Amino acid sequence: MGRYVLRRSLAIIPVLIGVTLLVFAAIHALPGSKVLSIVGFQVSPEMVARIESYYGLDQPMHVQYARYMGHLLSGDLGYSISRKSQVGSVLAPAVANTAILAGTGLVLAVLAGLIGGFAAAFHAGSPVDRGITSLMLIVGTAPPFWLALVLILVLSIQLELFPATGMYSPRGEPNLPDLLHHLVLPALAVAAQPAAIIAKVARSAMLEVRGAEFVTAARAKGLPRSRVFSGHVLRNVLSPIVTITGLQLGYLVGGVIFVEVVFGWPGIGFQLFQSILARDITLTMGASLIIAFAFVFVNFLADLINALLDPRHEVQ
Amino acid sequence: MLNFKRFTMGLLFGLVLFVTLPWTVQAAEDKTLVVAIEANMPGFDAHVICSYALYREIITMYEPLVTTDLTDADALPPKLVPALAERWEISPDATEVTFHIRKGVKFHDGTEVDADVVDWNFRRVWRKGEGEEAPQYYTAAAGGASFWSDSVKDIRVIDKHTIKVFLKHPFPEFVRQLYATTCGSFFVVSPAAVAKYGQEGLAKNPVGTGPFKFVEWVPGDRIVVERFDGYWGPPAKVDRIVFREFTNMAAMVAGFRRGELDIIPAVPPDNIALLRDDGFKVATNLVPNMIYLVLNLKDPVLKDVRVRRAMAMAIDKETLANKLLTDAAEAAHSIVSPGSPPYDPEFRSLPYDLEKAKALMREAGYGPDKRVTMHMPNPASGSGTIAPMPIAMAIQSNLSKIFIDLKVETLEWYGFISLLSRGLQPDAQILPMPWGMSTGYFTRQVLHSKKQPFSNYGWYSNPEVDRLLDEATSTPDLAKSKALFAQVNQIVVNEDVAVIPALIDLSPTAYQPYVKNFVLPHENWFVLHQVDIEK
């Protein structure tokens, strides 16, 4: 297990280096000077060149990249010219905000997915099963930003149940009930697709395991239903569910950007979106790295949990 | 042991309870005004800010020497009134301006404003010559200030509360230009704050003299300012203002409808009538910002004035404004900005006449069997734009009737403005430019041959127009200036057709019924110190 952990940990490094190269090249490919966000357009090319030089943006690309990686290795994510702050200080609160949203979304997705999937499996072939499956199909294929706007329109504007934007009310001091109230709609938007996929997997896994011989044998032995479920069924359905949940969390973190932009949720996805618009190289790199790291790490964690749950998983 | 059904029912019950419990946000004991911004804030250094949207925040905290009275919705142009300068004098030849600095004004950090402080501020964004920069000279800020600083020959402190600016040429509008420039307006920042936080640090720790002082900035989320009780003028009516950043207009309107926002600017045109029908207030007013089409005069097809005239007569501005953008814009005819002193609302550009336009194109050698293709880079959104996609589609449709196939290339904002500093290149024939200032000097910037290419994007050059512009912007006689600008309009818009004025922005701004004293002036931004809330 120790060697497995070490091997997987080391494998993260080339992935992250690849991300920095890709993002660096992509942002440089975008048209427009990287200082336009701060100087505007009524400025002469000579002045733009001077300001670029002031920020070291006139250096060759490989020099800029090498300098960035040098700072990164010492734990410095660089300076954001559009936010006038160290990238770390801009992204730290954003990461926390995304963690709140993604974490809540994941909990909702897992709960809804398990409840929906198990309910569908227990009532396989019935209208309940068909209803749940259809709902999951619609919800699972709807684009997150579209779903977010629909939720705002119906639950916020029409029914006036929840706020439409932001993380806290701009009036008064931030508090927990206010946060939870603002969290509902974005968490639902974020949870929808993963919930649908988890439900599908949960349903399939449950149907397969419930029909297995060892379950029949356990029932035949006279074990109570609850014991059969907890001791035999649950443990065997969890493995594929944990795998898919881990994968979904990775996609959830990446997909949260759309939801954050629509709801104005000040998370890392929102910061990434704004940094691209502003051509802020270091902020874009920093946000991309964090998202990439989160994606890879979460998948790694899911594999680890799976290995612990099911000793048959090959870890060599 | 977990009972699945009971667990599910319990969860659903909890959810319903959560949703239906009366939620009470802690009642604010103070008056807080919440205003949306349709742009991202890059910090609060007043010398670096470069957009109308961001000015609304900056002017709560900073002040210029002379400002305009933006509490009068009818004044066209807005009247110049004292701010940090309690009075000023312009020499008869308009080459010297003397500012008398108001006594007893303090920055939010307690330091005083005097002529030395104003001089320090000038030298932060201006230098007398190459290699003559003051220690506080800030390159990132100097670019935007060039709109007025290029005209400054020298600056001298006369005494503790008097400072004199010497200009390179007669510039009667200098005082207005100092404030109304879109980029690099001259606000007075605290030198002590720059000393304490550094040049870059001022952006996160703004210190000005305005009626509000900075409290907090959560990038991408909100900016909070609160009333400054040491302000030299009448105190602001509200205790706090929270500015919320939005890049998604639908979410901004949704937040407004829910009561989370008190004032929202740049209301999408199709929402104006709906908001009014639902009892919200939506103000509109003529502002300097307009959409004008810049034509690439180096293009071989556009070199033919018959083609340019045909295009001007084929674009149905009235329908565009009245049917497509009802209440959000009106047809533009002049290249002199609305809201500027020499603006003439009676001036008319070439009338819409499709048959005449077709005849002109045929005369130029084009027709159904010989169509011409043109390219137009178009911003998807951005500062000053008004429904850019529908407008581009409408122009495309209009021009297709006169044998022009217009390829619209949609770019996001920075991609679009990155094209500007080089002027229009051979791969682009038309540029829909959203811009305008409340000064006649703006027109000189966009048409004078010396301003090619970075504000005269279409490479327009006419010595007669250059002469008229130089004279119009250097005469202190407003009537004479207006007459000269009228000649410029006639030549540029109707004879040379170097640009096609299309639309004037009416800047639709929505506000809640309980918001009082809100004024939308004839300017690209508005003030908030007089606004009150009565709930």
Q: Cis peptide leading into B501, omega within 30 of 0? A: no
Main-chain dihedrals φ then ψ at residue B87, nearest 5 degrees:
-160, 165
Residue in chain A lying closest to B222 (CA)? A170
Residues A222 and A266 occupy one common structural domain: yes
State the smallest CA–CA distance between residue B25 and chain A in angstroms. Answer: 6
Q: Which residues of B touch A165 (CB under 8 A)?
A: 244, 246, 251-252, 254-255, 258, 260
Q: Which residues of A touch B32 (CB under 8 A)?
A: 170-171
Residues A68 and A137 occupy one common structural domain: no
Contact A32 B8 (CB under 8 A): no
* Mean of pLDDT over chain A: 82
Among the listed residues B486, B519, B435, the one whose alpha carbon sits nearest the alpha carbon of residue B68:
B519
Residues A123 and A240 occupy one common structural domain: yes
Among the listed residues A295, A303, A282, the one whose alpha carbon sits nearest the alpha carbon of residue A16:
A295
Comparison of pLDDT for B1 and A203, the residue scoring more: A203
Main-chain dihedrals φ then ψ at residue B376, nearest 5 degrees:
-135, 110
The most confident of A48-52, B452-456, B471-475, by mean pLDDT: B471-475
pLDDT of residue B23: 52
pLDDT of residue B26: 46
State the smallest CA–CA distance between residue B523 and chain A in angstroms. Answer: 19
* A39 vs B143, B242, B251: nearest CB: B143
Last residue of a domain, one of A17, A51, A86: A86
CB of B19 within 8 Å of a chain A CB? The answer is: yes
CB of B22 within 8 Å of a chain A CB? The answer is: no
Whole-angstrom CA distances from A73 to A11, B120, B479 are 17, 40, 66
* Mean of pLDDT over chain B: 91
The answer to whether B50 and B184 have CB atoms below 8 angstroms apart is yes
CB of B232 within 8 Å of a chain A CB? The answer is: no
Residues A167 and A35 occupy one common structural domain: no
pLDDT of residue B19: 58
Whole-angstrom CA distances from A132 to A141, A184, A237, B157, B322 are 14, 21, 19, 78, 49
How far apart are alpha carbons A157 and A151 in whole angstroms? 9
How far apart are alpha carbons B455 and B422 in whole angstroms? 9
CB of B427 within 8 Å of a chain A CB? The answer is: no
Contact A37 B42 (CB under 8 A): yes
- Over its C-alpha atoms, chain A yields an Rg (Å, rounded) of 24
- Over its C-alpha atoms, chain B yields an Rg (Å, rounded) of 25
- Domain range for residue A253? 89-315
Query: If DSSP states are collapsed to H, E and C, what string results for B406-421?
Result: EEEEEECHHHHHCCHH
Chain pair A-B, CB pairs under 8 angstroms: 208
- DSSP reduced 3-state for B98: strand
Residues A100 and A168 occupy one common structural domain: yes
Residue in chain B lying closest to A157 (CA)? B258
Contact B32 A173 (CB under 8 A): no
Interface test with A, best of B258, B383, B385, B514 (most A CBs within 10 A): B258
State the smallest CA–CA distance between residue B86 and chain A in angstroms. Answer: 30
pLDDT of residue A48: 72
Name the pairing type of β-strands B515-516 and B281-283: unpaired
How far apart are alpha carbons B245 and B43 in whole angstroms? 12
How far apart are alpha carbons B174 and B341 in whole angstroms? 13
How far apart are alpha carbons A28 and A23 in whole angstroms? 8
pLDDT of residue B1: 44
Whole-angstrom CA distances from B432 to A273, B59, B348 are 25, 29, 20
How far apart are alpha carbons B237 and A174 in whole angstroms? 24
Main-chain dihedrals φ then ψ at residue B99, nearest 5 degrees:
-110, 135
pLDDT of residue B3: 63
Residue with tokens 């709801």: A263
CB of B226 within 8 Å of a chain A CB? The answer is: no
* A164 vs B51, B258, B455: nearest CB: B258
Last residue of a domain, one of A64, A86, A108: A86
The answer to whether B260 and A163 have CB atoms below 8 angstroms apart is yes
How far apart are alpha carbons A231 and B221 in whole angstroms? 48
How far apart are alpha carbons A292 and B228 in whole angstroms? 44
* A31 vs B244, B418, B455: nearest CB: B418
Residues in Cβ contact with B319 at an 8 Å cutoff, skipping those fewer than 6 apart: B394
* B254 vs A156, A178, A180: nearest CB: A156
How far apart are alpha carbons B432 and B293 in whole angstroms? 5
Give tens-digit pLDDT for B14-50: 766 665 554 544 445 579 999 999 877 778 999 988 8
CB of B182 within 8 Å of a chain A CB? The answer is: yes
- DSSP reduced 3-state for B253: helix
Residues A109 and A121 occupy one common structural domain: yes
Residue B164: HSE in the Cβ half-sphere, 13 Å Cα cutoff: 11
Residue in chain B lying closest to A50 (CA)? B139
- CATH number reported for the structural domain that contains residue A236 in this entry: 1.10.3720.10
Residues in Cβ contact with A120 at an 8 Å cutoff, skipping those fewer than 6 apart: A128, A129, A132, A133, A199, A203
Among the listed residues B13, B278, B508, B220, the one whose alpha carbon sits nearest the alpha carbon of residue A160:
B278
| ipTM of predicted complex | 0.78
Write B366-373 long-range contacts (CB < 8 A, 24+): B366/B307, B366/B402, B366/B403, B366/B404, B367/B403, B368/B403, B370/B403, B371/B403, B371/B404, B371/B405, B372/B301, B372/B307, B372/B403, B372/B404, B372/B405, B373/B404, B373/B405, B373/B406, B373/B407
pLDDT band with cut points at 50, 70 and 90 for residue A125 = confident
Comparison of pLDDT for A84 and B206, the residue scoring more: B206
pLDDT at A279 over 70: yes
Contact A83 B219 (CB under 8 A): yes
Comparison of pLDDT for A16 and B85, the residue scoring more: B85
Give tens-digit pLDDT for A126-183: 898 899 899 888 888 888 888 998 999 899 988 888 998 889 888 877 889 999 999 9
CA A102 to chain centre: 6
Residue B283, strand partner residues: B509
pLDDT at B367 over 90: yes
Residues A298 and A162 occupy one common structural domain: yes
Residue in chain B lying closest to A167 (CA)? B221
Q: Which residues of B touch A42 (CB under 8 A)?
A: 50, 144, 146-147, 182-183, 445, 454-455
**N-terminal to C-terminal alpha carbon distance within chain A:** 8
State the smallest CA–CA distance between residue A308 and chain B in angstroms. Answer: 23
Give tens-digit pLDDT for B386-403: 888 999 999 999 999 999
- DSSP for chain A, written as a single string: -HHHHHHHHHHHHHHHHHHHHHHHHHHHHSSS-TTHHHH-SSS-HHHHHHHHHHTTTTS-HHHHHHHHHHHHHTT---EETTTTEEHHHHHHHHHHHHHHHHHHHHHHHHHHHHHHHHHHHHTTTSHHHHHHHHHHHHHHHS-HHHHHHHHIIIIIIIS--S-SS-SS-SSS---HHHHHHHHHHHHHHHHHHHHHHHHHHHHHHHHHHHTSHHHHHHHHTT--HHHHIIIIIHHHHHHHHHHHHHHHHHHHHHHHHHHHHHHT--SHHHHHHHHHHTT-HHHHHHHHHHHHHHHHHHHHHHHHHHHHH-TTS---
Q: Which of A271-280, B160-169, B458-467, B523-532 has the lowest mean pLDDT?
A: A271-280
Handedness of CA A192, A197, A198, A204 (dihedral sign): positive
Residues A183 and A280 occupy one common structural domain: yes
The answer to whether A133 and A125 have CB atoms below 8 angstroms apart is no
Residues A211 and A296 occupy one common structural domain: yes
How far apart are alpha carbons B12 and B14 in whole angstroms? 5
pLDDT band with cut points at 50, 70 and 90 for residue B467 = very high
State the smallest CA–CA distance between residue B257 and chain A in angstroms. Answer: 7
Contact B220 A94 (CB under 8 A): yes
Contact A271 B219 (CB under 8 A): yes
Whole-angstrom CA distances from B461 to B279, B292, B303, B304, B496 are 50, 18, 12, 15, 10
Token code pair at residue A82:
């559009």
How far apart are alpha carbons B139 and B146 in whole angstroms? 11
Contact A166 B183 (CB under 8 A): no
pLDDT of residue B16: 65
| Degrees to nearest 5, angle at CA B120 with B117 and B121 | 90
Main-chain dihedrals φ then ψ at residue B505, nearest 5 degrees:
-70, 130
How far apart are alpha carbons A23 and A286 in whole angstroms? 10
Residues A27 and A163 occupy one common structural domain: no
CB of B411 within 8 Å of a chain A CB? The answer is: yes
The answer to whether B36 and B258 have CB atoms below 8 angstroms apart is no
Residues A274 and A210 occupy one common structural domain: yes
pLDDT of residue A43: 63
State the smallest CA–CA distance between residue A314 and chain B in angstroms. Answer: 31
Residue B114: left (phi > 0), alpha (psi -120 to 50), or beta?
beta
Last residue of a domain, one of A86, A112, A133: A86
**Percent of chain B scoring above 90 in pLDDT:** 75
Domain count across chain A:
2
Contact A164 B28 (CB under 8 A): no
Contact B143 A165 (CB under 8 A): no
pLDDT of residue B324: 86
Token code pair at residue A278:
């502003």
How far apart are alpha carbons A79 and A64 in whole angstroms? 13
Q: Cis peptide leading into B42, omega within 30 of 0? A: no
Residues A260 and A133 occupy one common structural domain: yes
pLDDT at A92 over 80: yes
pLDDT at A316 over 50: no
State the smallest CA–CA distance between residue A209 and chain B in angstroms. Answer: 17
How far apart are alpha carbons B500 and B315 in whole angstroms? 9
* A230 vs B1, B247, B414: nearest CB: B1
pLDDT band with cut points at 50, 70 and 90 for residue A36 = low
Rounded to an integer, the average pLDDT of B444-459 is 92
Contact A42 B4 (CB under 8 A): no
Contact B260 A165 (CB under 8 A): yes
How far apart are alpha carbons B535 and B531 in whole angstroms? 13
The answer to whether A231 and A214 have CB atoms below 8 angstroms apart is no
Give tens-digit pLDDT for B121-162: 999 999 999 889 999 999 888 877 888 999 999 999 999 999
Contact B28 A171 (CB under 8 A): yes
* A51 vs B18, B143, B220: nearest CB: B143
Rounded to an integer, the average pLDDT of B282-306 is 96
Residue in chain A lying closest to B247 (CA)? A261
Contact A48 B219 (CB under 8 A): no
Residue in chain A lying closest to B251 (CA)? A262
* A38 vs B42, B242, B420: nearest CB: B42
- DSSP for B8-70, written as a single string: HHHHHHHHHHHHHS---PPPPSS-EEEEEESS------TTT---HHHHHHHHHH--BSEEE-T
Give tens-digit pLDDT for A236-259: 777 788 878 877 877 777 778 889
pLDDT band with cut points at 50, 70 and 90 for residue B242 = very high
